[in-house]
Amino acid sequence: QVQLVESGGGLVQAGGSLRLSCAASGRTFSRYAMGWFRQAPGKEREFVAAISWSGGSIVYGDSVKGRFTISRGNAKNTVYLQMNSLKPEDTAVYYCAADEGRTPVVIDEWYNYWGQGTQVTVSS
């Protein structure tokens, strides 16, 4: 069982940066691939980024490539999402998720555990 808690969301102007964190409980965090998703009002949940259990394999959604960076600190049981050059269209609730497989996964249904989400709002 893994429990996930996101933090770091907030209000930022377009062009600014935020760093999201996702703290995981449980001793087996390093065995899970981790992902970030987001959902804007009235829209479907969208894949943002995912990272393998070792951190050696990373995948990004097309809309965030070159602007967002996912990383993980297994010693701290934490996964991060550094978001730069933010745009108003990045406004959404951001969720982290854990997958019992070891490779990064882009399909939300494949994830086993989810956090409660953190709101990111980008003003123009």
Express each pLDDT in 66-122 by its tens digit: 999 999 988 888 999 999 999 999 999 999 999 998 899 999 999 999 999 999 999
pLDDT greater than 90 at residue 29: no
pLDDT average, residue stretch 15-42: 92
Return d(Cα 24, Cα 105) in angstroms, integer. 18
* Run of H or E including 7: strand 4-7
pLDDT greater than 90 at residue 13: yes
pLDDT greater than 90 at residue 28: no
**Tokens 């730069």 appear where?**
84
Q: Are 49 and 57 a contacting pair, CB within 8 Å?
A: no
pLDDT greater than 80 at residue 10: yes
Return d(Cα 95, Cα 99) in angstroms, integer. 13
What is the 8-class DSSP label of residue 14?
A: T
What pLDDT, in 10s, does the model give residues 41-74? 999 999 999 999 999 999 999 999 999 999 998 8
pLDDT greater than 90 at residue 1: no
Strands of the sheet containing 78-83, edge to edge, are: 4-7, 18-24, 78-83, 68-73
Q: Are 8 and 19 a contacting pair, CB within 8 Å?
A: yes
* Number of other residues whose CB lies within 10 A of the CB of residue 90: 22
The pLDDT, as a whole number, for residue 115 is: 97
pLDDT greater than 80 at residue 27: no
Q: Are 70 and 49 a contacting pair, CB within 8 Å?
A: yes
The pLDDT, as a whole number, for residue 66 is: 97
Q: Are 69 and 81 a contacting pair, CB within 8 Å?
A: yes
